[in-house]
Amino acid sequence: MNKTVRHLADGREIIYFDEGPAPPSRDARDARALPPVAGSSEIRRDPLTGEWVAIATHRQTRTHKPPTDLCPLCPTRPGKPSEIPEPHYDVVVFQNRFPSFVDRNGRTEVVCFTSDHDRSFSELGPRRVRTVVDVWADRTAALSQLDGVEQVFPFENRGEEIGVTLHHPHGQIYGYPFVTPRTERILATARDHFAEHGTHLLGELLATERADGARVVEEGEHWTAFVPPAARWPVHVLVVPHRRVADLTGLTTEERADFAEVYLRLLRRCDGLYDRPLPYVAGWQQAPVRQGHDLAWLHLELFSIRRAPDKLKYLAGSESGMAVWVNDVSPELIAQRLRAAG
């Protein structure tokens, strides 16, 4: 993989990741007359829960469902400039023009998985997915070196039902200026379990699920995808490496290649579930920058709000108000349906 760093007209960084042995020069200039990024974000701590909330009012003006010929994530064409000055790319990362975290309050990046506007992640080949994994690892390492970044979260939102406003296949990477509440809870539970049993909690769960098999959806040499026994969502899957690593940078070449195969099979099962593209959120749970590396077990979590071909799960009173989930579908049935969707 070849990496080329350039800058957009307003000074934001853009990074091209090319797969071929002879990468293009990547010298196209961003000719747009862009003003400097004017937004700023603020983080405030909820005095009742101790959790951090980002206030980013400038995001109200972000691009919202533009027509295909004005997609800002497609390559630049004559008369149609975009966020990517080049006429073609493999994978590209750039700083978000409408970031959730700016200044010294973290960093927000956009990851475009392909220059093809009409493809989805499930339609990428194993080689491209492997490249994306390498990019996630590269950015995890780079963002972890920035002042103020405490946790790196690569993720993909897919589908209008999830709230996606740009249809081009892409994801984001958040460099949080704090450790997120969910990660704090996971690490605390793992710490208590290790203190009592001397073993890693997710490793024990993985072994149990592989031995039982009722909730396993896909399995490879180095990864297993299974529905968690207390699944919160009508579609909910964890993709877990068989070897404990703290974050994406620790994966071997073989583990990255095997993930590409396992994950693509899982995504195709998801799209086959209702014979239509499944809206989902998929994100990496990995160790924070400065803590938890001895306890964290890297894994990807995928979930969907679609509970039937014509029904969505909404976060109603119990979920939104008290963070107590009520799932209308059993984890065993979720796994059974996904296996059948193959």
pLDDT of residue 174: 97
The mean pLDDT of 183-212, rounded to a whole number, is 98
pLDDT tens track for 9-28: 999 999 999 998 888 999 99
Q: How many residues does the chain have?
A: 342
Please give the helix or strand (H or E) that residue 280 lies within, else none: strand 280-285
pLDDT of residue 62: 72
pLDDT at 117 over 90: yes
Question: In whole angstroms, how far apart are CA 321 and each of 122, 292, 303, 317, 325?
Answer: 34, 29, 20, 5, 10
The CATH number that applies at residue 73 is: 3.30.428.10
pLDDT at 41 over 90: no
What one-character DSSP code corresponds to residue 338?
H
Percent of the chain past pLDDT 70, that is, above it, reads: 99
**170: annotated active-site residue:** yes
pLDDT of residue 246: 98
pLDDT of residue 216: 98
Percent of the chain past pLDDT 90, that is, above it, reads: 90
What one-character DSSP code corresponds to residue 323?
-
In a shared domain, residues 255 and 159? no
Instruction: Place 48 in a pLDDT band, splitting at 50, 70 and 90.
Output: very high
The mean pLDDT of 165-172, rounded to a whole number, is 96
The mean pLDDT of 227-232, rounded to a whole number, is 98
pLDDT of residue 153: 98
Please give the helix or strand (H or E) that residue 241 lies within, else none: strand 235-241
Residues 66, 302, 125, 217: is their CA dihedral positive or negative? negative
CA atoms within 13 A on the CB side of 246: 14
Binding site, annotated residues:
71, 74, 117, 168
pLDDT at 271 over 90: yes
In a shared domain, residues 174 and 196? no
d(C-alpha 186, C-alpha 246), whole Å: 13
pLDDT of residue 39: 67
pLDDT at 257 over 70: yes
In a shared domain, residues 127 and 269? no
Three-state DSSP class for 299?
Answer: strand
In a shared domain, residues 235 and 160? no
Instruction: Place 36 in a pLDDT band, splitting at 50, 70 and 90.
Output: confident
| Among candidate residues 163, 180, 197, the one where a domain is terminated | 180
Which residue of the set 64, 170, 193, 222 is catalytic? 170
Q: Phi and psi at residue 194, in whole multiples of 5°?
A: -65, -40
Q: Phi and psi at residue 173, in whole multiples of 5°?
A: -135, 120
DSSP track, 63-90 = --S--GGG-TTSBPBTTB--SB-SS--S
Count of domains forming the chain: 2
In a shared domain, residues 281 and 226? yes
Domain that holds residue 253: 182-340
Binding site, annotated residues for Zn(2+):
71, 74, 117, 168
In a shared domain, residues 132 and 191? no
| Among candidate residues 180, 198, 215, the one where a domain is terminated | 180
Rounded to the nearest integer, the mean pLDDT of the chain is 95
Please give the helix or strand (H or E) that residue 260 lies within, else none: helix 253-272
In a shared domain, residues 316 and 256? yes
In a shared domain, residues 12 and 45? yes
pLDDT tens track for 57-116: 888 777 767 888 999 999 999 999 999 999 999 999 999 998 888 767 899 999 999 999
Please give the helix or strand (H or E) that residue 154 lies within, else none: strand 151-158
